[in-house]
């Protein structure tokens, strides 16, 4: 990426940040609500993605794309801080924590049975 392109990209990021800033408080409240709900179900890992998707869809339908973007930014910020805290508490680097989760996700994908195509399932 050349210097001019980088400058334009940073200017766009600053404009979007300023535009979304008024939505931050509500996005943070929604993030806290999602975290309280979803973390209460970590013993049911198959349920967590559905709860999270429910929150995302609710925000998008009720408030639109800007609030969804603000919510996603809030979630990303929380994830970064949480990973950093896990790293500090476990004596690892953030990269090591991320690598562990990435390895677990890859292993889970490889051990999962292949998903059937819906059309094949309906035909049976």
Q: Is 64 a member of any domain?
A: yes
Contact 78, 31 (CB under 8 A): yes
70 is a domain residue: yes
Residue 98 predicted with pLDDT over 80: yes
In a domain, 16, yes or no: no
Identify whether 15 is part of a domain. Answer: no
Count of structural domains, the chain: 1
Beta-carbon contacts of 48 under 8 Å, excluding residues fewer than 6 positions away, are 38, 41, 42
Tens-digit pLDDT profile for residues 9-48: 999 999 999 999 999 999 999 999 999 999 988 888 888 8
- Determine, yes or no, domain membership for 9: no
Q: CA–CA separation, 28 vs 10, rounded Å? A: 24
Confidence of residue 57 (pLDDT cuts 50, 70, 90): very high
Query: Which segment of 12-21, 49-58, 99-108 scores lowest on mean pLDDT?
Result: 99-108
d(CA 18, CA 23) in angstroms, rounded, equals 10
Q: Span 88-108, mean pLDDT?
A: 93
pLDDT band per the 50, 70, 90 thresholds, residue 56: very high
Domain that holds residue 74: 23-110
Q: Does residue 2 fall inside a structural domain?
A: no
Name, in order, each residue with C-beta under 8 angstroms of 92's C-beta and a sequence gap of 6 or more: 86
Which spans in 21-117 are helix H? 24-39, 48-63, 65-90, 94-111
Residue 106 has pLDDT above 80, yes or no: yes
């Amino acid at each position: 990426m050349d210097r001019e392109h980088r400058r334009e990209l940073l200017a766009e990021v600053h404009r979007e940040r300023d535009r979304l800033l008024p939505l931050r408080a509500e996005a943070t409240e929604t993030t806290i609500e999602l975290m309280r709900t979803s973390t209460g179900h970590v013993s049911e890992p198959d349920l967590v993605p559905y709860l999270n998707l429910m929150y995302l869809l609710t925000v998008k339908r009720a408030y639109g794309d800007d609030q969804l973007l603000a919510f996603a930014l809030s979630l990303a910020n929380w994830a970064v801080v949480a990973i950093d805290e896990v790293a500090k508490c476990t004596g690892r680097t953030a990269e090591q924590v991320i690598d562990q989760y990435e390895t677990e996700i890859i292993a889970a994908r490889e051990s999962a049975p292949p998903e059937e195509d819906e059309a094949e399932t309906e035909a049976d």
